[in-house]
Structure formats: structure tokens, C-alpha cells
């Protein structure tokens, strides 16, 4: 189907490392050992940045909080990464 494609030949002997590298890996389980049973019992946080270009308000960092039970998400924009802890306390 493709012109000038080099021919491919299967090696007669494969080394152990090559076989391990191509081994199928089972996917991770979606079920956690522990999940929240009430609002704000477990909150996941993520910090992203520095982002370029900056926002119109000169904000370069993004912090998000996700409630494990309700999946509500709060996103805040920050100018400096040093303000993360203050934003966490405020949250």
C-alpha cells in the first residue's frame, strides 16, 4: 500500500529484556480503597504553572480543589506560587 517501504523481517531470537519491555501491563483499578462519604471529607488539590502567557490579570498559576464526594471543583488563579498556602487556608 505504501511505495518504497523497507521490508520488515521478524528477528529469529528475542532477548529477555525486549520481551519484558513489550509485556502487557494491566491497567490500574478505578476503584480506590477509600472514598469520601460526606461533602468535603476528602478534597484533592492540584497546582499548575507557571503558565505562559499570563492571564489578563497577570495571573500565572492555577490551583484547583476537587471534592471527592460531590465532584464539585473550585479553581483559583494566583500571581505567585507562594500564595498557594494562603489560598488553601482561605478555601
Whether the per-residue pLDDT at 67 is higher than 70: the answer is yes
Provide the grid cell at 29: 483499578
Task: Please report where in the chains the cell 476503584 appears, as a residue.
Answer: 31
Name the CA radius of gyration of the chain, rounded: 24
Dist CA 34 CA 29 (whole Å):
13
Taking CB atoms within 8 Å and a gap of at least 24, the contacts of 58-62 are: none
Whether the per-residue pLDDT at 60 is higher than 70: the answer is yes
Domain boundaries, the chain: 35-90
Dist CA 71 CA 66 (whole Å):
6
pLDDT at 82: 92
The separation between the first and the last C-alpha atoms of the chain, rounded to the nearest angstrom, is 59
- Model confidence at 13, pLDDT cuts 50, 70, 90, reads confident
| pTM metric for this prediction | 0.61
Amino acid at each position: 500500500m505504501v511505495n518504497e517501504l523497507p521490508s520488515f523481517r521478524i528477528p529469529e531470537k528475542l532477548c529477555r529484556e525486549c520481551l519484558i519491555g513489550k509485556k502487557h501491563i494491566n491497567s490500574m483499578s478505578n476503584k480506590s480503597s477509600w472514598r469520601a462519604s460526606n461533602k468535603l471529607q476528602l478534597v484533592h488539590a492540584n497546582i499548575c504553572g507557571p503558565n505562559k502567557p499570563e492571564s489578563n490579570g497577570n495571573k500565572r498559576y492555577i490551583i484547583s480543589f476537587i471534592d471527592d464526594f460531590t465532584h464539585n471543583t473550585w479553581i483559583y488563579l494566583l500571581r505567585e506560587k507562594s500564595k498557594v498556602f494562603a489560598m488553601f487556608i482561605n478555601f
